[in-house]
Chain A
Amino acid sequence: MSVLVDDDTRVVVQGITGGEGKFHAEQMMEYGTNVVAGAVPGKGGQEVSGVPVYDTVHEAVDEENADTSVIFVPPAFAGDAIFESLDSGLDLAVAITEGIPTQDMARVNKRLAETDTRLIGPNCPGLITPGEAKLGILPGNIFSEGNVGLVSRSGTLTYQVVDNLTNRGIGQTTAIGIGGDPIIGTDFVDALELFENDPDTDAIVMCGEIGGEDEEEAAAFIDENVDTPVAGFIAGRTAPPGKRMGHAGAIVSGSGTGTAESKISALNDAGVPVGDTPEEVADHIEEFLN
């Protein structure tokens, strides 16, 4: 079992004719993902690595029954590409693109509330159900099948923690990178709810970072609604206020909100142990499972 993606997922890749889109569409297929179509305006009728390309996402849905899109469209056009995926009735849209203007995402966010489509990202590595399918750019070979759900704001930090787990023989149900932007679709609370309701997920790792209040909200949600044990990690303890640490969302404001201390103490108060190192996170998960 898994959440959001499995080997039945029918994927349309928006931007499949671009260098990154093509490379990662191939990587996804190699991993076993069912990529059924590409969508690129002006490129309808072409084929990329055996996958038919359509001019619009709507056509990909009509012709190939696509139910999920993965978006590799440059930032200037990515907001529009997300709108297109939301308006074509897909179940899930995964936006990998980094650097989408925040105001575009505010408009997307407004539309999200009006549709049934779930958005993951933007500025995220995507998600993977080991052994079944991956959507995005995660390196499939570091993941393994198992019973730990993982949700993270950061891509490479996800890989690090997965590596610590996999080295101990602990596999994953699904790993979700929710992205490092200030405005994202699926947040920690949404992902935690999915894992809580997944009978095969026996423990959850949640990797947060400085900036915003999503981790605090997640802590409150865990306290009230999550019985599955959760271990946490928070990146950015040493970040000075007012400096953006790479991710557009990773910034401690001048007034001190969004600090690592606030997030760690909120999680601890909700009974979530927070590792000082990725290795300690794996220690906690191992304890939960034994």
Chain B
Amino acid sequence: MRVSSERKLAGFKQGRNGPSNGMKLHEYQAKQVFADAGVPTPDSQLASDVDGVVTAAEEIGYPVAVKAQVQVGGRGKAGGIKLAEDEDEAREAAESILGMDLKGYHVDRVLVEEAVDFTDELYVGITMDRGEGKPVAMVSTKGGVNIEEVAEEDPDAIAREHIDPAFGMHPYQARKAVYDAGVDQSVARDVSSVLTTLYQLWDDKDGADAEINPLMVTSDDDVIAADAVMNIDEDALFRQPELAEMEEEAAGGDDLEQKADEYGFDYVRLEGNTGIIGNGAGLVMTTLDLVDYYGGEPANFLDVGGGAKADRIANALDMVFSDDNVESVVFNIFGGITRGDEVAKGINEALEQFDEIPKPVVVRLAGTNWEEGMEILNEDLVTVEQTLEDAVQRAVEYAEEVSE
């Protein structure tokens, strides 16, 4: 998900990286950011081997929680979080979690953390309400569970306060959200303070989402952030250099998605076998939908962006050919600022280097300079169709022939 700031600054209309909803920090990174801002967090250390876990646990003091540092929800249920009362248990937890495959992500680091003895679990979060075009602060006494489920099943259990982005969050709004949620008076002041800090962070750091779930309440009426979520608006990374550096550390995903990052494509890998390349998110999505409509299965979403030149087009083909699942490719370009002649040059460039074309490629060119493109395109190497519908159907047929 790397975004080069130069590219952001230079271009006004470019294909972008990042299939996810914002750049996600790891828990340990988000906790560091929160702790630096004054949010109470448990003592913790990052470890990447069993001895490291034990050493960290000794320093922090038992009991500790050993938590896999991967960006998936439901880590606890999947066995990615374990409690350890002593060295044997710490060793056991480390051995079982380090190296495990958690919902498709390899765990190579764990956070060893002071286990918090809590009486209550709350939820606090800030996100952008796109319908309102305003940030919204949320507080709930139903913390420690999937908040999206709470939102669906019991929406009134979450107090919401919309924030004027020009003024920021007024102190009364933090109090109001906390009281509206029914947080006990004994901790209301502390929870308001955490919420205020969270909004400040969200605002200063170009947050997409900032969440603490659970915010634990201890028997001494202290509050402490037992988990931390911080997602950053990728479009703002150019002015968040420290977070952009953390992103390098957080970068993950499978090899193909990393390759897409290098090429700077908007790319999402899917399960099917019909590869898809196009320009413009809406049209690429439509091409995926048509593959499905005509009985095929899309292998990916790949948007080359606006104004792609020949080398970028060639990279797109290389990208899709790198997916072993792909049996055929549909290349659909409707040129506005993208020119058909550049597209044709790129397709020739990519395919002429092969003695044998790896997978059949169906091309449909329309819009700016499509006639010039058709003159340039080497039709011995590809199948040409005139309409989107025909191109998709042909590619689906090719994929089916190979699968049979």
Contacts and interface: CB of A to CB of B under 8 A. Distances in A.
B301 interface: yes
Interface residues of A, number: 72
A28 interface: no
B396 to A, nearest CB: 13
Interface stretch (A38-46, A60-68, A246-254): A246-254
Shortest beta-carbon contacts, A-B, top 9:
A154-B282, A246-B281, A156-B280, A157-B282, A101-B236, A109-B133, A255-B148, A156-B283, A235-B285
Nearest to A153: B282
B20 A244 contact: yes
A209 to B, nearest CB: 5
Interface in B276-328: 278-286, 288-293, 298, 301, 303, 306
Nearest to A210: B285
Contacts, number: 213
Nearest to B387: A279
B9 A253 contact: no
A159 B280 CA distance: 10
Contact of B12 (A15, A106, A238, A245): A15
Given A76-B8, A102-B208, A238-B289, A243 B268 contact: yes
Interface of A: 15, 18, 20, 72-76, 78, 96-107, 109-111, 125, 137-139, 142, 152-160, 163, 180, 182-183, 207, 209-210, 212-213, 233, 235-240, 242-251, 253-255, 260, 276-279
B: contact size bracket: 35 or more
Contacts of A155: 280, 282, 306, 336
Nearest to B303: A246
Nearest to A249: B130
A153 B135 CA distance: 22
B166 interface: yes
A39 to B, nearest CB: 15
9 contacts: A72-B12, A99-B8, A103-B206, A106-B135, A109-B134, A156-B282, A159-B334, A160-B366, A254-B73
Contacts of B20: 242-244
A155 B203 CA distance: 31
A40 to B, nearest CB: 13
Interface string B352-391: 0000000000000011100000000000000000011100
B131 A212 contact: yes
B16 interface: yes
Given A76-B9, A154-B282, A279-B389, A163 B334 contact: yes
A235 B336 contact: no
A235 to B, nearest CB: 4
B16 to A, nearest CB: 6
A164 to B, nearest CB: 9
B367 A157 contact: no
Given A98-B12, A139-B336, A238-B289, 8 more contacts: A103-B206, A103-B233, A110-B165, A139-B368, A159-B334, A239-B268, A246-B16, A250-B282
